[in-house]
């Protein structure tokens, strides 16, 4: 979505409120067909980036964050390069917050490295990576220009799942496993993680299949549905996958990662159910325990991965994805 010369990446809708423009990763036509809470979680900024080219010396973005348990910090990238120490990150406050972004220095060097290494993003493109919580856009001062399609990577990875996919306790969005996997591939990414509400709704599956802007996807299922009976969970998974299997592009599926504060027997049942409906279809299944099952790599809540856990998921799943995608090529 383009507004004010800015590409609002991973934003499907923007709604003007008295506090600023609210950004949603899902259109209301989808969230209204999902369970309660979907619309508020869709407004979380995970995977949302404000992307633009600075035409003068600098521009100032104006943002505001809603109250949240975790620190709301935006990270600045110039193409595939993390911003320098003066332009690396900014904390977004609950009152109007001005973020000054300067035209990138060392541009010639970054452009040469981008070409030599085959990096995905043009370093002229400023990427303001928004945090996990809800941020509101207030405006921009200075001249900006939306990037062209050729300024972006050729391929895009889409990720759907729970708050683990969404990025809770990753501490910073660049540490989430979808961001890390995209970095390893040199591709773009779309994060449709849904904290506390990844409930395998048919409407969400239909929306994923309807989108033509991704090349491969991942689905992480189960942890948000441990409150369901196994029978209800199985019916929801069966219906969800019956929609996804209509897609011919690669979809990588995993079940509940190692979690040590939940009903282990029920979690094992749910893993078997996800495997049952993923194996034998077009999808590539990997048990969640193969990606993360180390109690030293979870946070104090015994469910969400730590930074080390996020890195392990990214490393292991990237290897599986890379092998399959190379075979397809």
pLDDT digits (tens, 9 = 90+) for 46-103: 889 999 999 999 999 999 999 987 889 999 999 999 999 888 999 999 999 999 999 9
Which has the closest alpha carbon to 222: 300, 303, 296, 316? 303
Residues whose CB is less than 8 angstroms from the CB of residue 149 and which lie 6 or more positions away in sequence, other chains included = none
pLDDT of residue 149: 96
More confident residue, 190 or 37: 190
Tokens of 8: 């609002």
pLDDT at 252 over 90: yes
CA 55/CA 52 separation, integer angstroms: 9
pLDDT recorded at residue 235: 97
- Say which residues have a Cβ less than 8 Å from residue 176's Cβ, sequence separation at least 6: 46, 165, 166, 167, 170, 191, 193, 310
pLDDT band at 43 (very low <50, low <70, confident <90, very high): confident
Which residues of the chain are in CATH 3.40.50.1110 domains?
Answer: 156-328
Binning pLDDT at 50, 70 and 90, where does residue 230 land? Answer: very high
pLDDT > 70: percent of the chain: 100
Q: Which CATH number fits domain 2-151: 3.40.50.150, 2.30.29.30, 1.10.10.10, 2.60.120.260?
A: 2.60.120.260
The residues of the chain that CATH labels 2.60.120.260 are 2-151
Give the model's pLDDT for residue 35.
83
Judge whether residue 293 has pLDDT over 90.
yes
pLDDT number for residue 193: 93
Where does 156-328 sit in CATH, by number?
Answer: 3.40.50.1110
Predicted confidence (pLDDT) at residue 297 exceeds the cutoff of 90: yes
């Amino acid at each position: 979505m383009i507004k004010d010369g800015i590409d609002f990446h991973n934003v499907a809708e923007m709604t003007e409120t008295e506090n600023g423009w609210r950004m949603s990763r899902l259109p209301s036509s989808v969230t209204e067909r999902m369970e309660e809470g979907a619309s508020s979680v869709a407004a979380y900024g995970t995977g949302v980036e404000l992307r633009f080219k600075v035409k003068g010396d600098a521009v100032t973005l104006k943002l505001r964050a809603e109250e949240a348990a975790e620190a709301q910090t935006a990270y600045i990238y110039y193409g595939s390069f993390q911003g320098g120490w003066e332009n690396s990150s900014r904390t977004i406050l609950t009152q109007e917050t001005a973020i000054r972004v300067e035209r990138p220095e060392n541009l010639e060097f970054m452009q040469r490295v981008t070409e030599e290494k085959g990096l995905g993003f043009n370093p002229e493109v400023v990427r303001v990576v928004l945090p996990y919580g809800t941020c509101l856009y207030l405006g921009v001062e200075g001249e900006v220009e939306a990037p062209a399609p050729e300024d972006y990577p050729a391929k895009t990875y889409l990720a759907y799942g729970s708050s683990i996919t969404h990025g809770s306790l990753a501490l910073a969005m660049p540490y989430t496993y979808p961001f890390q996997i995209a970095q390893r591939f040199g591709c773009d990414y779309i994060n449709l993680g849904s904290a506390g509400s990844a409930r395998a709704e048919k409407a969400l599956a239909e929306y994923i299949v309807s989108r033509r802007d991704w090349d491969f996807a991942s689905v992480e299922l189960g942890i948000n549905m441990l409150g369901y009976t196994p029978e209800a969970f199985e019916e929801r998974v069966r219906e969800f996958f019956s929609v996804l299997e209509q897609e011919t592009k690669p979809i990588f599926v995993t079940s509940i990662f190692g979690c040590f504060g939940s009903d282990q027997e029920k979690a094992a049942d749910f893993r078997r159910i996800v495997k049952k409906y993923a194996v034998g279809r077009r999808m590539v299944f990997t048990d969640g325990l193969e990606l993360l099952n180390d109690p030293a790599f979870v946070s104090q809540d015994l469910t969400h991965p730590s930074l080390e856990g996020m890195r392990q998921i990214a490393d292991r799943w990237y290897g599986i994805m890379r092998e399959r995608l190379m075979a397809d090529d």
